[in-house]
């Protein structure tokens, strides 16, 4: 029997994504972003994001179907992000997904956004080894997860950021440095000609006795802002490349150090790095270096699948459907601060 075809919808932040996956294969996906509309505010404005999803959802789904060479009638299930994320933004995606599932007469699955980031990697590199450690680093999250069977087992949340996410730190410091939003790519570019040892920025929560898997980036952000301020007060030009390279080094060092400590402690031979910050050149290079030294295999999806998209939600839906998970009721609602326990955000009875 042919594998079921799953449509995935993502709308938790500023990206409206639709993707189609069947039997772990990505058939097509489309992402529309309202990032430009938020740029002048220096961050995502929830109401603007929700309105942009209303505009983008139907065209994005239509185009994803076109790219896959399919019609709505060919879809066997719809999966949608129901949390965590911006409440209004999530509600637009869920309402659209319910309408599509109802119209097509197919089951609906509510998916945890972070499980989607994890599953994105399977679309390029095949099934995840059991177990593996996953580092999710984006503008909204910085989490270390211990993952077994994504469709069946609970995900162990090893640690999180206690304040800012890593991408948020890049975005906010970039603003102080006078770089454009989003700041991560701008810092990455500026760092190319810099000396990463030029400024000794702190490595938060890496002292003995600190939580080994928790992150904190707000102190680092303040340290970078102070450093910039000191130069300005002295009337000096900001050594931007050195500042960017040193900041990037501090972030990459802490992220990879903690991720590899988790691999060692939990006996995982594979580290998966996902999320927008996984696109950072230094994060990638240092992860490769340290994984090679520790004999750990490193998996990083290509940038288009690292950032928010609908394909990753379809990938979770595909795993759930094939595991025989029970679909969600049509009165399912969003959960903007959903903790990650299972990949499905509604209770599922699995076929044993
Ligand atoms: O995963 P993502 O697209 O959206 C969510 O936040 O869920 O991640 C966006 C974040 C932003 O903070 C952006 O500055 C950061 O990822 N980012 C980068 C790079 N590309 C994107 N940070 C560092 N270096 C990059 N090359
Ligand atoms: Zn995300």
35-62 per-position pLDDT tens digit: 888 877 777 888 888 898 999 999 999 9
Tokens 């994105």, located at residue: 120
Does ligand 1 come within 6 angstroms of the Cβ of 308?
A: yes
The answer, yes or no, to whether any atom of ligand 1 lies below 6 A from the CB of 12, is: no
Please state, in angstroms and rounded to a whole number, the distance separating the CA atoms of residues 255 and 100: 39
Judged on CB neighbours under 10 Å (0-12, 13-18, 19+), 180 is exposed
- Residue 349: its pLDDT value, please? 66
Per-residue pLDDT reduced to its tens digit, 6-35: 999 999 998 999 999 999 999 999 999 888
What is the distance between the alpha carbons of residues 159 and 272, in angstroms, rounded to a whole number?
A: 15
Structural domain boundaries, residue 57: 5-119+306-322
45 and 133 housed in the same domain: no
- My answer on whether 193 and 248 are in the same domain is yes
Q: Which residues surround ligand 2, an ion (CB under 5 A)?
A: 138, 308
- What pLDDT score does 40 carry? 76
CA distance 251 to 235: 28
Instruction: Clarify whether residues 246 and 224 are in a common domain.
Output: yes
> Is there a contact between 240 and 279 (Cβ–Cβ < 8 Å)?
no
Q: Does 348 reside within a domain?
A: no
Give the length of the chain.
352
CA of 139 to the centre of ligand 1 (A): 5
Q: Are 338 and 119 in contact (CB under 8 A)?
A: no
Give domain status of residue 81, yes or no: yes
Task: Burial-class residue 36 by CB neighbours within 10 Å (0-12, 13-18, 19+).
Answer: exposed
Ligand 1 proximity of 139 Cβ (cutoff 6 Å):
yes
User: What strand order describes the sheet that includes 108-112?
Assistant: 25-33, 15-22, 5-10, 77-83, 108-112
Q: How confident is the model at residue 262 (pLDDT cuts 50, 70, 90)?
A: very high
Please determine, for residue 230, whether its predicted confidence score (pLDDT) is greater than 70.
Answer: yes
Q: Is 41 exposed, middle or buried (0-12, 13-18, 19+ CB in 10 A)?
A: exposed
**DSSP readout, 282-311?**
HHHHHHHHHHHHHT-EEE---HHHHSS-SH
**pLDDT (tens digit per residue) in 132-186:** 999 999 988 899 999 999 999 999 999 999 999 999 999 999 999 999 888 999 9
**pLDDT-derived band at 296, boundaries 50, 70, 90:** very high
Indicate the SS3 state at residue 76.
Answer: coil
176 within a domain of the structure (yes/no):
yes
Residues 6+ apart with CB under 8 A from 233: none
Q: For 89-128, b where at least 16 C-beta lie within 10 A, e where not — what string? A: bbbbbbbbbbebbeebebbbbbbbbbbbbbbbbbbeeeeb
Q: Average pLDDT in the 282-306 region?
A: 96
pLDDT at site 151: 93
Contact indicator for 324, 344 with CB cutoff of 8 Å: no
Task: Let me know whether 79 and 166 are in one domain.
Answer: no
Q: State the closest ligand 1 atom to the C-alpha of 117, by its place in the atom list counted from 1.
A: 1
- The total domain count for the chain is 2
The candidate with the shortest Cα–Cα distance to 275, out of 86, 133, 83, 117, is 117
Residue 350's pLDDT is: 67
Is there a single domain that holds both residue 262 and residue 171? yes
Q: Which whole number is the average pLDDT over 231-246? A: 96
Q: How many CA atoms lie within 13 A of 77 on its CB side?
A: 29
Nearest to 275 by CA among 291, 264, 259: 259
**What pLDDT, on a 0 to 100 scale, did the predictor assign at position 45?**
85
- Per the prediction, the chain carries an average pLDDT of 94
288 with 316, same domain: the answer is no
Cα(167) to ligand 1 centroid in Å equals 5
Contact by Cβ (8 Å): 68, 27: yes
Cβ contact 291:298 at 8 Å: yes
CATH number of the structural domain spanning residue 208: 3.30.420.40
Residues 221 and 106 reside in one and the same domain:
no
pLDDT > 90: percent of the chain: 85
Same domain flag for 140 and 110: no
Q: From ligand 1's centre to the CA of 108, what distance in Å?
A: 29
By percentage, how much of the chain surpasses pLDDT 70?
Answer: 98
Least confident of 46-50, 92-96, 107-111, 326-330: 46-50
Looking at the structure, do residues 131 and 114 belong to the same domain, yes or no? Answer: no
| Any ligand 1 atom below 6 A from CB of 183 | yes
Please check whether residue 111 is in contact with residue 9, taking contact to mean a CB–CB distance below 8 angstroms.
no
Co-location of 270 and 175 in the same domain: yes
222 confidence band (pLDDT: 50, 70, 90)? very high
Classify strands 5-10 and 108-112 as parallel, antiparallel or unpaired.
unpaired
């Amino acid at each position: 029997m042919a594998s079921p075809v799953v449509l995935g919808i993502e709308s938790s932040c500023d990206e409206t994504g639709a993707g189609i996956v069947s039997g772990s294969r990505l058939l097509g996906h489309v992402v529309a972003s309202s990032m430009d509309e938020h740029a002048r505010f220096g961050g995502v404005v929830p109401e603007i994001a929700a309105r942009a999803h209303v505009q983008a959802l139907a065209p994005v789904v239509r185009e994803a179907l076109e790219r896959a060479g399919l019609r709505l009638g060919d879809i066997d299930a719809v999966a949608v992000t129901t949390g965590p994320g911006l409440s209004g933004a999530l509600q637009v995606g869920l309402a659209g997904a319910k309408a599509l599932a109802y119209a097509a007469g197919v089951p609906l699955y509510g998916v945890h956004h972070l499980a989607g980031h994890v599953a994105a990697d399977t679309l390029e590199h095949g099934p995840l080894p059991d177990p593996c450690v996953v580092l999710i680093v984006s503008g909204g999250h910085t989490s270390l997860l211990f993952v077994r069977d994504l469709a069946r087992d609970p995900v162990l949340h090893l640690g999180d950021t206690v304040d800012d996410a890593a991408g948020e730190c890049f975005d906010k410091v970039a603003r102080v440095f006078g770089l454009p939003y989003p700041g991560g790519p701008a810092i990455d570019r500026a760092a190319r000609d810099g000396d990463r040892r030029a400024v000794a920025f702190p490595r938060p929560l890496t002292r003995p006795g600190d939580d080994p898997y928790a992150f904190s980036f707000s102190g680092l952000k303040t340290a970078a802002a102070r450093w910039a301020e000191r130069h300005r007060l002295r009337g000096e030009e900001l050594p931007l490349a050195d500042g960017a390279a040193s900041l990037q080094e501090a972030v990459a060092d802490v992220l990879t150090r903690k991720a590899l400590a988790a691999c060692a402690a939990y006996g995982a031979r594979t580290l998966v790095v996902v999320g927008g910050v996984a696109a950072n050149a230094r994060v990638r290079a240092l992860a490769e270096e340290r994984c090679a030294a520790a004999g750990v295999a490193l998996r990083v999806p290509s940038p288009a699948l690292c950032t928010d998209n609908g394909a990753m939600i379809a990938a979770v839906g595909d795993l759930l459907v094939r595991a025989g998970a029970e679909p969600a009721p049509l009165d399912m609602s969003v959960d903007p601060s959903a903790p990650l326990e299972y990949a499905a955000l509604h209770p599922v009875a699995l076929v044993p």
